[in-house]
Amino acid sequence: MKRIIPLVLLLIFLKPDDIRAQKPSKVRPNVILVMADDLGWGDVGFNGNPQIKTPELDKMAANSLQFTRFYAGAPVCSPTRGSCLTGRNPERYGIFFANVGHIKPQETTLAEVLKANGYATGHFGKWHLGTLSKTVRDGHRGGKANDEFSPPWENGFETCFSTEQAVPTWDPMKDQMVKTHYWTGPDRFAEDNLEGDDSRIIMDRALPFIGQSVQKKKPFLAVIWFHTPHSPVVAGPNYRAMYPGLDDNHQHYYGCITAMDEQIGRLRRELRKLGVANNTLILFASDNGPAGEGGGIDQHPGKRQQGTAGIFRGRKGSLYEGGIRVPALLEWPGRIKTHRKVSVPVTTSDYFPTILSLLDYSVPGNPRPMDGINVLPLLFTDTAQRPKPIGFKSYKQRAYTDNQFKIYSADDGIHYELYDLLNDPSELQDISEAHPMVLASMKTALDDWLSSCQKSEKGEDY
Amino acid sequence: MKRIIPLVLLLIFLKPDDIRAQKPSKVRPNVILVMADDLGWGDVGFNGNPQIKTPELDKMAANSLQFTRFYAGAPVCSPTRGSCLTGRNPERYGIFFANVGHIKPQETTLAEVLKANGYATGHFGKWHLGTLSKTVRDGHRGGKANDEFSPPWENGFETCFSTEQAVPTWDPMKDQMVKTHYWTGPDRFAEDNLEGDDSRIIMDRALPFIGQSVQKKKPFLAVIWFHTPHSPVVAGPNYRAMYPGLDDNHQHYYGCITAMDEQIGRLRRELRKLGVANNTLILFASDNGPAGEGGGIDQHPGKRQQGTAGIFRGRKGSLYEGGIRVPALLEWPGRIKTHRKVSVPVTTSDYFPTILSLLDYSVPGNPRPMDGINVLPLLFTDTAQRPKPIGFKSYKQRAYTDNQFKIYSADDGIHYELYDLLNDPSELQDISEAHPMVLASMKTALDDWLSSCQKSEKGEDY
């Protein structure tokens, strides 16, 4: 604890919340949050993709809880990522879209709580929750005179290898649209081992962090946020060659996913080699649905954006299921002995309260609205019902879903559609006229929830 | 062999082909052909269905070759089933649609060849390849003065528990649209153990046959053709209860699939209990895509027809992928040690030549056109290419597919569309104008193939 206490003390002064070490938890599993970038629900073998090769994820799935109704907190990148770390909805902490806003210092992150309790903490890959340099022009917003500076090392991560934003998924430092570095700390960025597959480059940094934590007998939190398969989509020649007969666009999209898959296999093997697999939980998910042509929120595939949301309607950017329902797994060999499909709705905001419950930690500081819930009690019975609906907002879209129904508005809540997701998972049939009472009560609940978010966003929680 | 030889001798007189015992094969695995009825590509967990519970098929898939491009021989029931047993396309043996035609005595079936070589042979479930009684009104066509009599026991099956056509998937003898019996031989039908789940009723007959074959140390061929989830779609209360919150239609459709899944688990456990699992190959597939509302070839889901073809276009009755690309597995624990996805095109006509090659048997009698091929050499390398395209015809539709491309006509070959199935598996983009040469050469090949089929159908092979 010698090295930890001063950091904790420092945090008390920096942070309004009282983030101190709590009573030692009985279990202290290692936690690895893995996130793909723009990977569609149907882009993995374990969700039935007939072509994309993801043998390592499929093996992991066979050993995991496999979520069939897992929601990214938002239909685009930055907002979702914040929800993973804070347990709160992006509407609450004010990151409304990609490349805007930042994690405010008053927010409490999973990394801060775990670090204060003796965990080694590391972030590897895409950050997207604020700028990483006040001086160097970097990413969309870095180095500019604005208030968006909020790097991972000011949000609880001790070890960092982090970009502000997307980079090419092969040779990530070359042919960038906007110059972006891999930052390792204040005013420091990586300068070697930056060639080839970006997922491998990220894992090359994550594995030594994990190895050192194990050596020091410290539990660890590793947040591994791949850039794959976000634009610029580039696969190396070996990965493209795995898809003979496919055109360039498909080879690049499918190939970079297979390259990422390979690194997930490498990670899982390393945990076994280190003897810590049983006590490590890995949460795998995507940050939103598959991107449309060009890499953004266009609702049609095209060029190198060849992802699929399977049977679900919509893509990245949409609050229909295809934009937010993503592939997701929870592997924890010491606790989860057999594969199970979990159909209860779960979302990225649940990470924070679930992991804290598991560790028997409470959220430090003054009570503040939390959108996620501890989902552990829901994961092991078929009849589980989520006690709290999940709300979404993105530009003019709003959506709200409970165990069965979902309301959706494309025009800031003027008109609503109602879907029965159990009987109509593809959202083909708007049943709002047949069920006006269901619609009305969900609208009221959504309005209440949005009001609460707006209060938080105005700073009332701090 | 005491009981076998007279049957073989008898066959020589009955059949024009010279179906005799051949030199003993080095390997004599047991063969189980399992077929679901109208199960869509996306109706199983292993192909990514987010809701339908098929844990037993998923377990089987994890231990199998899992085909991602497996084609039913036709987009409807009877024609496909004939192709499983003869290795020939339905256009060749003259079963052009469901409930028409029959397996002609001149055709050589897999059951006949295996029986002549010492296999015990049994058929359990839906037959659909001819009538089973000349005297009793049964099914659509039984008991009428027509030439469609062609029961399983005249096509190589010694043990039978077979219906001419569809029955309800729960309490199969009740509430039938058309009276249909489970025939066990000439003028004999089953009268007990016919209540409850139809898949269980079928397995209750298949397992004793398998057990007795093992006891007699005879290899066996068991053809288990479930009626599930074909209309009338009915699930028992226990299976419906597995889908709380779903409406009646979904509960029945999903529930009867889960009931069938349970029987597949029972079958696999029984093989292990009997100690023959390693030496038994199980081929699982569906006979066509998911039915449309009402159970037929309507191209929209509705009522109790709630199946999905996943990302594929079309349903039962269509020669777009959704009508013919079906879930399929090959499990053979003694030979296939690890799960593999097989992306090379394979079809039900391949069963017959593949199994014969495996046994080192040649097709008996005079050489005749065979549409299927031995696919064994294609199953274990990623770069395998199918040497022979696959042709389809159904009413006015025609289609022809090689490893990459597919042509499709809805109007008897007047107009054609061309799809690149590797780059556009959902058949969204007709590229015939951009690739006139590909289209022209595939049209010619399809025309040649159809001419050959027509000659066969006129009897030129016999």
Model pLDDT for residues A41-72, shown as the tens digit of each residue: 999 999 999 999 999 999 999 999 999 999 99
A53 CB neighbours in chain B (<8 A) are 341
Q: Which residue of A has its CA nearest to B254?
A: A423
Q: Is the CB of A247 less than 8 angstroms away from the CB of B48?
A: no
Q: Chain A contacts of B310, Cβ < 8 Å?
A: 42, 48, 50, 310-311
pLDDT tens per residue, range B114-126 = 999 999 999 999 9
- Is A51–B425 a contact, with Cβ atoms under 8 angstroms apart? yes
Number of H helices, E strands in chain A: 11, 16
CATH superfamily, domain B4-378, is Alkaline Phosphatase, subunit A (3.40.720.10)
Q: What's the pLDDT band for B25 if we cut at 50, 70, 90?
A: low
Per-residue pLDDT tens for A184-222?
A: 999 999 999 999 999 999 999 999 999 999 999 999 999
Assess whether pLDDT exceeds 60 at residue B437. Answer: yes
Q: State the pLDDT at residue A100.
A: 85
Contact A407, A393 (CB under 8 A): no
Higher pLDDT, A7 or B389: B389
Task: Flag whether residue A244 sits within 8 Å of chain B, measured between CB atoms.
Answer: yes
| Chain B, nearest residue to A248 by Cα | B423
Q: What's residue B18's pLDDT?
A: 56
Give yes or no for a contact between A176 and A231, defined as CB atoms under 8 angstroms apart: no
Q: Is the peptide bond before B229 cis (omega within 30 degrees of 0)?
A: yes
CB-nearest to A69 from B50, B247, B249 is B50
Taking contacts as CB-CB distances below 8 angstroms, the residues of chain B near A307 are none
Residue A280 three-state SS = strand
Structure confidence at residue A17 as a pLDDT band (50, 70, 90):
very low
Q: Is the pLDDT of residue B382 over 50?
A: yes
Name the residue facing A383 among B42, B244, B341 (closest C-beta): B244
pLDDT band at B11 (very low <50, low <70, confident <90, very high): very low
Residues of B with CB below 8 A from A258's CB? none
φ and ψ of A144, to 5 deg:
-95, 160
pLDDT score at B141: 85
CA of A245 vs chain B CAs: smallest distance (Å):
7
What pLDDT is recorded for position A24? 66
Measured between CB atoms, does A462 come within 8 Å of chain B? no
Residue A320 reports pLDDT greater than 50: yes
Domain spans of chain A? 4-378, 390-457
Whether A422 and chain B come into contact, CB under 8 Å, resolves to yes
- Please give the Cα distance from B447 to B385 (Å, whole number): 22
**Cβ–Cβ of B422/A51 closer than 8 Å?**
yes
Question: CA A81 to CA A36: how far, in whole Å?
Answer: 11
Distances from the Cα of A232 to the Cαs of A52, A70, A175, A203, A205, in angstroms?
18, 26, 9, 19, 22
Give the mean model confidence (pLDDT) for residues A361-385: 88
In tens, the pLDDT along B270-318 reads 999 999 999 999 999 999 999 999 999 999 999 999 999 999 999 999 9
Alpha helix stretches (DSSP H) within B20-121: 55-61, 77-86, 90-93, 110-116
Q: Is B106 on the interface with A (CB under 8 A)?
A: no
AA identity, residue B270: E
CB-CB under 8 Å, A404 with B53: no
Which site among B329, B422, B431 would you substitute to test the A interface, given the most A Cβ atoms closer than 10 Å to its Cβ?
B422
Distance CA B237, CA B171 (A): 12
Å between A152 CA and nearest CA of chain B:
35
The SS3 of residue A34 is strand
Q: What confidence tier does A362 reach under pLDDT thresholds 50, 70, 90? A: confident
Residue A241 touches chain B, beta carbons under 8 Å: no
Residue with tokens 């993105």, as numbered in its chain: A394
Residue from the list B68, B245, B403 with its beta carbon closest to the beta carbon of A50: B68
Which pLDDT tens digit goes with each residue over A412-440? 999 999 999 999 999 999 999 999 999 99
CB-CB neighbors (< 8 A) of A247 in chain B:
420, 423
- CA distance, residue B321 to nearest chain A CA (Å): 12
> Which residues 73-102 of B have a C-beta within 8 angstroms of A?
none
Task: For the beta carbon of residue A146, count every other beta carbon within 10 angstroms.
Answer: 11
Query: What distances in angstroms separate CA B239 from CA B59, B226, B256, B261, B303, one per listed residue?
Result: 19, 17, 7, 11, 18
Q: Is B451 on the interface with A (CB under 8 A)?
A: no
Please check whether residue B330 is in contact with residue B417, taking contact to mean a CB–CB distance below 8 angstroms. no
Q: Measure in Å the smallest separation between the Cα of A175 and chain B Cα atoms.
A: 26
pLDDT at B16: 41
CA distance B73 to chain A (A): 19
Banded pLDDT at A18 (limits 50, 70, 90): low
Q: Between chains, do B246 and A425 touch, taking CB under 8 Å as contact?
A: no
Q: Which residue of A has its CA nearest to B306?
A: A423
CATH number attached to the domain at A390-457 = 3.30.1120.10
User: With an 8 Å Cβ cutoff, are A48 and B46 in contact?
Assistant: yes
- How far, in whole angstroms, is CA B194 from its chain's centroid? 23
Chosen for mutation from B250, B299, B303, B311 (greatest number of chain A CBs closer than 10 Å) is B311
- The arithmetic mean of pLDDT across residues A302-331, rounded, is 97
Buried b (16+ CB within 10 A) or exposed e, B106-135: ebbbbbbbbbbbebbbbbbbbbbbbbbbbe
CB distance B423–A383 less than 8 Å?
Answer: no
Residue pairs between chains A and B whose CB atoms are closer than 8 Å: 76
Question: Which DSSP string do the residues of A107-138 spell out, in sequence order?
Answer: S--HHHHHHHTT-EEEEEEE--SSBS-SSS-B
For B222-232, what is the mean pLDDT? Answer: 98
Q: Do A403 and B62 touch (CB under 8 A)?
A: no
Output the pLDDT for position A382. 81
Q: Which residues of B touch A310 (CB under 8 A)?
A: 42, 48, 50, 310-311
How far apart are the CA of A126 and the nearest CA of chain B, in angstroms? Answer: 28
- Answer whether B50 sits within 8 Å of A425, measured CB to CB: yes
Chain B residues within 8 A of A68 when measuring between CB atoms: 50-51
Which band of pLDDT confidence, cut at 50, 70 and 90, is reported for residue B147? Answer: confident
Q: Give backbone dihedrals phi and psi of B70, rounded to 5 degrees, phi first.
A: -105, 130
Query: In the structure, what pLDDT confidence band is assigned to residue A335 with cuts at 50, 70 and 90?
Result: very high
Q: What's the pLDDT tens digit per position in B97-145?
A: 888 899 999 999 999 999 999 999 999 999 999 999 998 889 888 887 6
Return the SS3 of A339. coil
Instruction: Place B7 in a pLDDT band, splitting at 50, 70 and 90.
Output: very low
Contact assessment for residue B282 and residue B329, using Cβ atoms and an 8 Å cutoff: yes
Residue B363 confidence class, pLDDT cut points 50, 70, 90: confident
Interchain proximity B48–A47, CB inside 8 Å? yes
The whole-number average pLDDT for the span B19-30 is 77
Token pair of B11 as six digits: 């066959």
Q: Mean pLDDT, to the nearest integer, of A234-247?
A: 96
Contact B423 A246 (CB under 8 A): yes
Please tell me the distance in Å from B190's CA to the nearest CA on chain A.
37
Residue A423 in contact with partner chain B when CB distance is under 8 A: yes
Query: What's the pLDDT at B46?
Result: 96
Q: Which residue of A has its CA nearest to B402?
A: A245
Q: Which residue, A330, A355, A350, A354, is CA-closest to A342?
A: A330
